[in-house]
Structure 1
Amino acid sequence: MKFTQSLLAVSVLGLTAFTAQAAQYPDLPVGIKSGAGALIGDTVYVGLGSGGDKFYSLNLKEKDAQWQELAAFPGGTRNQPVAAGIDGKLYVFGGFQNNDVADNQVINDAYSYDPATNTWTKLDTRSPRAAVGASGVTDHGKVYFVGGINQEIWNGLFQDVKKASSGLDKEADKDKIAAATKPIFDAYFNLRAQDFFFSSEIVSYEPATNTWRNEGYFPYSGRAGASVGINNDKLLVVNGEIKAGLRTDGTAQGTITKDGVKDWKKLGDLPAPKGYDAQDGIAGGMGGYTNGHFIVTGGANFPGARANYAKGINDAHRTGGLKKTYHSDFYALDAQHGTWKIIGNYPKNIAYGVALPYENKLLFVGGETDGGAALTEVRTVSFDGKKLVVEE
């Protein structure tokens, strides 16, 4: 998106002003949602997800730079992998893909990409916990993984679905497939949150030593799709999915030590978004640190699911036909008091994109919006404690 002049729209929300500014970077060549991305120096790398096996790079310092297509990712198409940039290389972990076993199978391999040679290498390692649904963040040469789905339960679900629909045509026999697989999905969605066995372990990977490490346990239930950030050895975890279709509004913070992540404490819950009586929690939010302040926006949920679950309805989001809803409210953490406030809105509802801290700003790349449409846009966002600036 390109504008020839800056756009300015200021509104006061408490002590917070919102400012829109002109776009800085070109759009992606294709819409990318449920992909992954990372920074290496001044170059951002984004790919996979709805981008197939493609990865692209953009030099953020080069004037009039355009996205460059890299060598194709050799692991095939992947949704929801984790990516990280460490010591000049890009690392990609896990994800799920359709393969000969069944659709949507969790993969636990790892690859590195060397920008100097435009080549990928499959690493001689595998993640000890599913990287799908995990949120990754780097610190001191390590990638920290928070949460993640249970590989055995997830893969088994879709293997059972494939078996039940064997011999049926996906297009011609839709009704028969729905009837054959309904008992399988019903049993899955009726599990309690704790019976999904989402990972509560904090796992790290250090490329320099090719070593995985258990960094301790997250005490507030396993989750998928949380927003995470690290600042001054503090690991912040915001919301996420605690079972299929059900989110938490909780946030927590732990301290990174040489012996793992410890001294976890619960922070305030996210407030209800504008127009809603309650906060259902968000998964796939876009967040990170800017000028020392953690902010998060977007994400998706099923409004009413938490209330259903509190009533003992385990299949909380399908009951009553709750609609998947995307959001745009920006939340900022008051680090001193551990509380949150709404500071403005993103220009559109957004989730499942790439958010990366860069030069005291956050770089938002791709994502999806209402109806699941993949986005190509690239924007910067910043917050200094008083003013929220969002690129238009």
Structure 2
Amino acid sequence: MGLGNQDGKASADSYKFDLKSKKLTKLASFTGALREQSVSQILNNKLYVFGGGTNTALTDGYVYDIQKDAWDKVASVEVDNKDISVYGGNSIKLNEDEMLVIGGFNKEVYDWAVSNLGSLKDQELADFKAKYFGADVAEFKWNNQILVYNAKTNTWRSIGQIPFNAPCGEGLVYAGDSIISINGEVKPGVRSNRIYQGFIVK
């Protein structure tokens, strides 16, 4: 599937690639705002895509019906009536109905930073960069909720908080009864060398 950049520009194109014939086929174009770094999973033979962004962090969700070759809107990432950005986060598939998401830029902080980085000039820009990139990890307010989306009920819920700095761009692996979070950024331009393991009690 698509979503991301083509020839240096954001694209809504989607494709499938046949491993046997080596043939690339264009599919129905994505119907939402253009974006990158979304989280996605295949649940019940449908592709679900949430969040991501470009100049603004997005929280909406979409589903691609593989059989019908069509996109449709689903629930935005929202818990307790609050939109949550998962832009830059990662996900794992728990079962045919559910996916789990960890991480994501804070929408308000990200949108504010992009606006300033694109509008300020000269010394004002240099001062802003020094303050912004030098800020403490906590000031970026990245998503530390452990979020679960249920495709059957089309709902999101939080099952708690991660006990470490919220990551973006991390590796996320579901192995046996454990979830492993590998590295990732903990603030813009600063990557962690840490690996964390959590366990699912069944």
Residue 39 of structure 2 aligns with which residue?
82
- Offset at residue 65 of structure 1 (A): 3.7
C-alpha displacement of 1:206: 0.8
Contact 1:125 1:210 (8 Å CA) reproduced: no
CA–CA distance in 1 between the matches of 2:141 and 2:192? 15
Q: 1:192 aligns with which of 125, 136, 140?
A: 136
Aligned residue in 2 for 1:250? 194
1:151 — aligned with what? 107
Count of residues paired in the alignment: 193
Q: What is the Cα deviation at residue 180 of structure 1? A: 4.1
What is the root-mean-square deviation of aligned Cα atoms in Å? Answer: 1.7
CA deviation after TM superposition for structure 1 residue 194, in Å: 2.0
Counterparts of 2:38 and 2:76 in 1: how far apart (Å)?
A: 16
Letter in 2 for 1:143: M
Q: Which residue of 2 aligns with 1:135?
A: 90
- Aligned partner of 1:203 in structure 2 is 147
Alignment of 1:1-40 (within 5 A): none
Structure 1 residue runs without a partner (length 5+): 1-45, 98-103, 166-176, 259-392
1:229 partner amino acid: V
Does 2:14 align with 1:55?
yes
Q: Does 1:217 align with 2:173?
A: no
Instruction: Name the TM-score, length of structure 1 as normaliser.
Output: 0.47
Q: Give the 3 Å change call, closer, same or farther, for CA 75–178 of structure 1 in structure 2.
A: farther
C-alpha distance in structure 1 between counterparts of 2:183 and 2:114, whole Å: 26
TM-superposed CA distance for 1:233, in Å, is: 2.4
Could you report, residue by residue, the CA deviation over 1:336-376 in whole angstroms, capped at 9, with x for unpaired residues?
A: xxxxxxxxxxxxxxxxxxxxxxxxxxxxxxxxxxxxxxxxx
Alignment of 1:207-286 (within 5 A): 207-257=151-201
Q: Is the 8 A contact 1:229 1:236 kept in 2?
A: yes
Find the structure with the greater CA-based Rg. Answer: 1
Q: Which residue of 2 aligns with 1:300?
A: none
Q: Deviations over 1:231-271 (max 9, x none)?
A: 2221111111011111111111111236xxxxxxxxxxxxx
**Contact in 1 for aligned 2:172/2:182 (Cα 8 Å):** yes
Rounded to whole Å, the distance in 2 between the matches of 1:253 and 1:57 is: 34
Tell me, in whole angstroms, the C-alpha distance in 1 between the residues paired with 2:155 and 2:201: 17
Letter in 1 for 2:93: T
Partner of 1:172: none
The one-letter code matched in structure 2 to 1:55 is S
Instruction: Write the mapping of 1:353-364 to structure 2, written as runs, cut at 5 A.
Output: none
Kindly state the Cα deviation for residue 112 of structure 1 after the two structures are TM-superposed. Answer: 0.4
Secondary structure of 1:47 counterpart: coil
Are the structure 2 counterparts of residues 121 and 242 from structure 1 closer, same or farther at C-alpha, using a change threshold of 3 Å? same
Cα deviation, 1:126-183, whole Å, max 9, x if unaligned, reads 3442111101111112111111111111111123345x45xxxxxxxxxxx3444222
Q: Does the 8 Å contact 1:94/1:131 carry over to 2?
A: yes
Alignment-derived partner of residue 112 in structure 1: 63
**What percentage of aligned pairs have identical amino acids?**
29
Instruction: Provide the secondary structure at the position in 2 that maps to 1:105.
Output: coil
What's the CA shift for 1:72? 0.9
Write out per-residue CA displacement over residues 9-66 of structure 1, whole angstroms, 9 at most, x where no aligned residue: xxxxxxxxxxxxxxxxxxxxxxxxxxxxxxxxxxxxx311113111111244xx3141
